[in-house]
Chain A
């Protein structure tokens, strides 16, 4: 009797717990969008983040002086209503929008702009400068000398040299405007309590779980349509998709390409996809870099070419590098491992960018030709080489371990034995930037849509600095650097395009890279989510989104 009661209670409990209908597909809360992110934010200070997860939260809380037009890398006014550039191109004066309030109720003005930027470059601006690493400033804005307040609603940006990409760079999160009052209130903990002027206000951050934002009723544009925007951390792509299918989240990023069939067959879901502004490649260390003693990012006359730690005789030979290009079946990799959500790459930047050279003919898959070239180079029996394989999935390479293994297999077929080397992400970057690798997998997502942000940082000989290299092939043709520098210091677009096309030709011939793919960026939403527009830089703007 007693026993049967217990069983009954147990049965009911199990029934309740297992019935998916009870809460699984609960009705939509009014205008709440839960977005399934692949990781947690690291910090919530727009100037002090470098990872995509933090950035996607920032982009909905903060505004900058200028912003990208929806879905493009052209810029339009935002917190600055207009601007003028001086004749020498070294001073830009911004007129600021009036009547804008930060989330903490204080006014947006010139002081806020100066505060947001000055804390990043002025070592003497204490304590603010000490509260962050400001990694992106040094990287993107080192040409900026200072920011000066002219009056309450006018500021002037002073440059050290002319920089053709500065305006597009100003649309980046790094130079978004933060509330100085809020920063004073929280001090070193400001990164946990963001206050900007953006469409959504910060509500709470539950570590490793979610970040909740709510609509900013006082937004200087029309109020956003969503009431709440929640970024929920679901690291595993399968778990993300399952959560989306049962409606626990309304959108997810980085869907696994192997799930696309399942997504497409589900009428409740829609897959948004668009060519991404990125490139994924395998770099081959051609052997020589330089030590950037004065850390100015430029190879000066007193900084000679020296062997990189990863110097490897066979890879210094052009024929070997070309052979490797012939030996890898890129199309099969893109079809089967990228699952078609990418296009085969033949150049180091995506086709829609200024200066893309479409006349170049890619190396076809031809193992026989590869063997022949290897024999001509003096390696008829191949050799043993180490390939660094990234431990993390990036937007330009969804599954690097698998691609590494595939390359290992292809090169084995022409007699080259590949040892795969894997190490954690931090060490990986450190070692490859130091030129320790013989070959490595890497890639790049564009920051601002300017070709300089690909060609110069990834392939310029100035980027062969051992320890801080961005040019992982250590391609060091000085003629290429001349062309790339000329391209940055002119505003004439057709001239710039010509320079970049020439450099791509030179790189194709020298072949220090096996360009693999330009990946699409993919986001999946429930079918009733409307108004989302993909942005080429993979940044995520939820302002125009609503739920039907």
Chain B
């Protein structure tokens, strides 16, 4: 077990190195001159040349990469060409926003998804089962950007229940401590800020949660059904335990194993979804940042974001694999 984790960690190194090379070279193969973008609309050629020199954009690409990698290993991914701010800082500034969005979405997806799956399985072929699974079927086919727009239109534009973009009502006094809005408003006991934050969070996280929620519901249903057919459940029932105890105490734990894999697998979808959701809802997170960085050809920023996403993604997959081992005693890794 320990060796397995160490092996998995060592395997991270070539993967991360590979991703950095891909990220770096891809962006540099692209057409377009970043010096031009940095200088703005009215700049002279002299200014542009000065910028090119200053940022080392005229050096051979492998030297640029070497410099960059060395600095990246020291936690310094360079300064954003657009804002002149450290990329690491730009990413960390936005990280709490993306984290709260994806985390909240994941909680929604897991809570509602597993609940729906369990209920569906325990009442197989009931009207409820068909309804849940019907919704789930639409859920997995949903274009997340369209769903976001529809939610925005219904709950924001027509019903006017919820705001359609942003993080918090700026008129509410709010003290930033950690940068995590939910956490900060709880720490400071700021009830108004907490409610406002939640209001802003609902639509984007619902849009983002839908696909993983639907997948989780489907998987937990089929996994539950499989477990319910097994011998030990029949034994439990025979023992005269109530149906509720059988399902929630015994069956669910066993049924959750494949669900965890699915949650891990869905994390990538969630990150990709975050790129689109943040774009639709003007959410000041890393997803929107990477889209605008790509458009502005902000080399350091794109590289930083891509590496960040890859890193998070790889870690989550690792954690999923390890959790899998812990939960399922039948699986052993050498």
Direct A/B contact, Cβ within 8 angstroms: yes
A29/B296 contact (C-beta < 8 A), A135-B47, A242-B163, A427-B36 known: no
Q: Does B199 count as interface, using CB distance less than 8 angstroms?
A: yes
Q: Does B124 count as interface, using CB distance less than 8 angstroms?
A: no
* A22-B192 Cα distance, complex, nearest whole Å: 9
Asked if B93 and A207 sit within 8 Å, CB to CB, the answer is yes
Asked if A138 and B43 sit within 8 Å, CB to CB, the answer is yes
Among the listed stretches B69-77, B102-110, B128-136, B153-161, which one makes contact with chain A, having 4 or more residues with CB under 8 Å of it? Answer: B153-161
Among the listed stretches B18-26, B83-91, B213-221, B254-262, which one makes contact with chain A, having 4 or more residues with CB under 8 Å of it? Answer: B83-91
For chain A residues 285-311, which have a beta carbon within 8 Å of chain B? Answer: 292, 295, 297
Asked if A23 and B172 sit within 8 Å, CB to CB, the answer is yes
Asked if A207 and B195 sit within 8 Å, CB to CB, the answer is no
Asked if B170 and A295 sit within 8 Å, CB to CB, the answer is no
* A227-B47 Cα distance, complex, nearest whole Å: 39
- CB < 8 Å neighbour of B160 from A20, A136, A207, A235: A20
Q: Does B165 count as interface, using CB distance less than 8 angstroms?
A: yes
- CB < 8 Å neighbour of A234 from B156, B166, B196: B166
Specify which chain A residues have a CB less than 8 angstroms from the CB of B178 in the assembled complex. Answer: none
- CB < 8 Å neighbour of B192 from A23, A192, A239, A423: A23
Asked if A29 and B156 sit within 8 Å, CB to CB, the answer is no
Q: Does B31 count as interface, using CB distance less than 8 angstroms?
A: yes
* A447-B40 Cα distance, complex, nearest whole Å: 14
Residues 237-266 of chain A: 1 if any B CB is under 8 Å from the residue's CB, otherwise 0?
011001100101100000000000000000
Asked if A232 and B170 sit within 8 Å, CB to CB, the answer is yes
Q: For the complex formed, measure the closest distance between the CB of B159 and the CB atoms of chain A, giving whole angstroms.
A: 9
* A436-B219 Cα distance, complex, nearest whole Å: 54
- CB < 8 Å neighbour of B84 from A17, A139, A191: A191
Asked if A246 and B163 sit within 8 Å, CB to CB, the answer is yes
Asked if A246 and B37 sit within 8 Å, CB to CB, the answer is no
- CB < 8 Å neighbour of A135 from B39, B165, B281: B39
A42/B34 contact (C-beta < 8 A), A50-B40, A295-B44 known: no
Residues of B in contact (CB 8 Å), total 56
Asked if B282 and A234 sit within 8 Å, CB to CB, the answer is yes
Specify which chain B residues have a CB less than 8 angstroms from the CB of A467 in the assembled complex. Answer: 45
Asked if A427 and B195 sit within 8 Å, CB to CB, the answer is no
For chain B residues 80-122, which have a beta carbon within 8 Å of chain A? Answer: 82-85, 90, 93-94
Asked if A18 and B162 sit within 8 Å, CB to CB, the answer is yes
* A426-B157 Cα distance, complex, nearest whole Å: 34
Asked if B170 and A34 sit within 8 Å, CB to CB, the answer is yes
Asked if B170 and A133 sit within 8 Å, CB to CB, the answer is no
* A417-B241 Cα distance, complex, nearest whole Å: 76
Q: Does B289 count as interface, using CB distance less than 8 angstroms?
A: yes
Q: For the complex formed, measure the closest distance between the CB of B42 and the CB atoms of chain A, giving whole angstroms.
A: 5
Residues 280-315 of chain B: 1 if any A CB is under 8 Å from the residue's CB, otherwise 0?
011010001100001111000000000000000000
For chain A residues 54-76, which have a beta carbon within 8 Å of chain B? Answer: none
Specify which chain B residues have a CB less than 8 angstroms from the CB of A32 in the assembled complex. Answer: 171
Q: For the complex formed, measure the closest distance between the CB of A90 and the CB atoms of chain B, giving whole angstroms.
A: 22
- CB < 8 Å neighbour of A430 from B32, B90, B289: B32
Closest B residue to A233 by CB, please name it: B284
How many pairs of A and B residues are in contact by the CB < 8 Å rule? 154
Residues 13-55 of chain B: 1 if any A CB is under 8 Å from the residue's CB, otherwise 0?
0000000000000000001111011111111111100110010
* A49-B162 Cα distance, complex, nearest whole Å: 36
Q: Does A468 count as interface, using CB distance less than 8 angstroms?
A: yes
Residues 212-233 of chain A: 1 if any B CB is under 8 Å from the residue's CB, otherwise 0?
0000000000000000001011
Specify which chain A residues have a CB less than 8 angstroms from the CB of B253 in the assembled complex. Answer: none
- CB < 8 Å neighbour of B282 from A22, A34, A230, A239: A239
* A239-B204 Cα distance, complex, nearest whole Å: 13
Q: For the complex formed, measure the closest distance between the CB of A322 and the CB atoms of chain B, giving whole angstroms.
A: 29
Specify which chain B residues have a CB less than 8 angstroms from the CB of A24 in the assembled complex. Answer: 163, 169
Q: Does B198 count as interface, using CB distance less than 8 angstroms?
A: yes
Specify which chain A residues have a CB less than 8 angstroms from the CB of B167 in the assembled complex. Answer: 209
Asked if A135 and B164 sit within 8 Å, CB to CB, the answer is no
> Which residue, A135, A236, A447, has most C-beta atoms of chain B within 10 A?
A135
Specify which chain B residues have a CB less than 8 angstroms from the CB of A207 in the assembled complex. Answer: 83, 85, 90, 93-94, 284
Q: Does A210 count as interface, using CB distance less than 8 angstroms?
A: yes
Closest A residue to B161 by CB, please name it: A18
Q: Does B202 count as interface, using CB distance less than 8 angstroms?
A: yes
Asked if A425 and B37 sit within 8 Å, CB to CB, the answer is yes
Q: Does B234 count as interface, using CB distance less than 8 angstroms?
A: no
Q: Does A31 count as interface, using CB distance less than 8 angstroms?
A: no
> Which residue, B32, B41, B45, has most C-beta atoms of chain A within 10 A?
B41
- CB < 8 Å neighbour of B172 from A26, A134, A236, A238: A26
Specify which chain B residues have a CB less than 8 angstroms from the CB of A192 in the assembled complex. Answer: 85
* A51-B36 Cα distance, complex, nearest whole Å: 14
Asked if A426 and B171 sit within 8 Å, CB to CB, the answer is no
Question: What are 6 A-B pairs with beta-carbon distances under 8 A?
Answer: A17-B195, A43-B84, A207-B83, A207-B284, A426-B38, A429-B41
